[in-house]
Chains A and B, each alone.
Chain A
Amino acid sequence: GENVEQHPSTLSVQEGDSAVIKCTYSDSASNYFPWYKQELGKRPQLIIDIRSNVGEKKDQRIAVTLNKTAKHFSLHITETQPEDSAVYFCAASKSSSGSARQLTFGSGTQLTVLP
């Protein structure tokens, strides 16, 4: 089955700096890669996703890059703010069109933005 590895497990940055979280996956058939932000005791919140036919996607301060050849993808957060502090999870999925996506999650990164 799919295996997703995520690094680092913890990341502290100064407010205004950038944060980068990296993930690798094992199954070359995976074609969808979402990123989630999870605050303590809450549900995961989808913040950005990328499909295998795209190399990069950006949404305001958040961007994701995908390297299919190397089977890795990264989350980039620029101009970090204290409210970005949370646990971030990457995930990978392979799913045929129209069916619900079964996700394999990375181990998570605790991001702390220091004011």
Chain B
Amino acid sequence: GAVVSQHPSWVICKSGTSVKIECRSLDFQATTMFWYRQFPKQSLMLMATSNEGSKATYEQGVEKDKFLINHASLTLSTLTVTSAHPEDSSFYICSAGAQYFGPGTRLLVL
């Protein structure tokens, strides 16, 4: 079946630094990739929708200049958390559709 991978699986960084998360579709092409964020004991909240070759669409309240999304190819979408702060600590999950979720990236900002 279709597989979505994410890298890294976890990352610890200092406040003010930037972190890049990669999401790859391993055996299929994904025109669209969804990025979700999940805080502890909470639901998945859609942050943005990335579309190959065009600008991402951000949900209300999500800063597009802070969460940079690039979808340069049909198999790779990246989310960069710029100038990360402790409140950005969360579980970030990409998805290429209802059945295809990445394993998630746990970000801890110190």
Contacts and interface: CB of A to CB of B under 8 A. Distances in A.
A93 B32 CA distance: 15
Size category of the binding interface on chain B: 20 to 34
B61 to A, nearest CB: 12
B44 interface: yes
Interface residues of A, number: 21
A41 B106 contact: yes
A93 B97 CA distance: 11
A35 B32 CA distance: 21
Contacts, number: 49
A103 B93 contact: no
A102 B42 contact: no
Nearest to B99: A46
A14 B23 CA distance: 39
B103 interface: yes
B50 to A, nearest CB: 10
